[in-house]
Amino acid sequence: MHAWRAAFFSPVDSARYPLVAADASEPDSFDGATAVGRATLDPARGLVLTTDTRLARALLGGGAIKLLGLHATLEITNEGKPSGGADLSVADATMGGVPVRVGPDGVTVDTQKIPDLAGRAEQASAALGDVLAKAGFQIRELSPKVTKSASEETVVAAAAMVRWEQPPTGPGVPQQAVELRLGEVFADSLAMPTTPLGAPKLGPVSPVSGVPSAASAGPAVQQVQRAPTVPAAVRVKPALPRLRGRERGRARARAERRVTCPQDRFAFAPRFTEGTCPLCGWKPEEAVAAPPLLARVDRFWLAVILWGAASVLMLVLVVLAYARG
């Protein structure tokens, strides 16, 4: 950097922009980083994605590289056909104390601050780029990288991309590389056009029963509409399953044991209701009030008798088997 300053700087420029040498004890630092992303639906432009990224200051290379006021904005509008663009800027930058501008092609000397280099700007910028390359640095603006499809667009860009590669130290020795994207913006917009949903079509509204009209006089009588019923002539009783042989005879006998009370038309079996109607107490003539034998027998004692008989039978079988054995 000393050789570059001696070749291109005048004494006045050297005094105005003193040399800033790299200091190994000065760590890289970044201050004032902010980022805002927003997605909105605009009736006129469709889906709108906006991204705004700012970085107040970045110090690299032991303080020899200073970037100030990095700002990147990105906007994509999409109505089925996406389109957008990015705006990238670095307000101020210095390399070893030399004012420079950061662009897509790299670093160039800022001739607005150093008007003496206006005639030799290209030569001074090329020589400054060689100085940075020997130190392993590449600094440039990352132009928007756009990936498009039918209804989707992806954009990535950065106000400044700083890449440092370790200088070769010997054959076979691996090298390290670091890449920083300062003030990076990214957006991925996907929108598919579709037909708007129309209003639902409603049929005529029937008047509600029970609501009085404005023209009616006197108190309104509410009318209650009931569900239509099946006429008596159409009602069909469920048919009994078809039975054959003994099952048909048992069903007929079971039906004969039931009587219908003439007062409340309730059918009942007199044997199970003590010979009277359970609703009104009516007692039919020649009704058999005695319940069946199985209904009168206590099932508990019946189970005890059967268990005792089975025990006696088992005992007899065991004695006979022992006597024959």
**Each residue's pLDDT tens digit, 11-64:** 898 899 998 888 888 888 999 999 999 999 888 888 999 999 999 999 998 889
- The pLDDT assigned to 290 comes to 59
Q: How does pLDDT run across 181-231, given as a tens digit for each residue?
A: 999 999 999 988 776 666 666 656 555 554 444 444 444 444 444 444 444
Burial of 154 (0-12, 13-18, 19+ CB in 10 A): middle
Cβ atoms within 10 A of the Cβ of 184, count? 21
- The pLDDT assigned to 248 comes to 55
- The pLDDT assigned to 297 comes to 66
In whole angstroms, what is the distance from residue 156 CA to residue 143 CA?
8
Strand pairing category for 65-78 and 46-60: antiparallel
Q: CA 189 → CA 27, 74, 152, 246, 305, distances in Å?
A: 38, 12, 5, 83, 89
H or E element in which residue 11 lies: helix 11-16
Tokens 């420029």 appear where? 13
In whole angstroms, what is the distance from residue 162 CA to residue 59 CA?
11
For residue 278, how far is the Cα from the chain centroid?
Answer: 66
Phi, psi torsion values for 56, nearest 5 degrees: -70, -45
Say if residues 115 and 132 touch (Cβ distance below 8 Å). no
Q: How does pLDDT run across 64-96, given as a tens digit for each residue?
A: 999 999 999 999 999 888 988 899 999 999 998
Burial 101-116 (b: 16+ CB within 10 A, else e): bbeeebbbbbbebbee
Q: Which long-range contacts (CB under 8 A, 24 or more apart) does 259-268 make?
A: 259/284, 259/287
Higher pLDDT: 98 or 271? It is: 98
Higher pLDDT: 254 or 238? It is: 254
Q: Which of 99, 94, 89 is nearest to 160 (CA)?
A: 89
In whole angstroms, what is the distance from residue 192 CA to residue 169 CA?
54
Q: Is the pTM of this model over 0.75?
A: no
Instruction: For residue 114, give every residue at least 6 positions away whose Cβ sits within 8 Å of its Cβ, in sequence order, or none.
Output: 13, 17, 98, 99
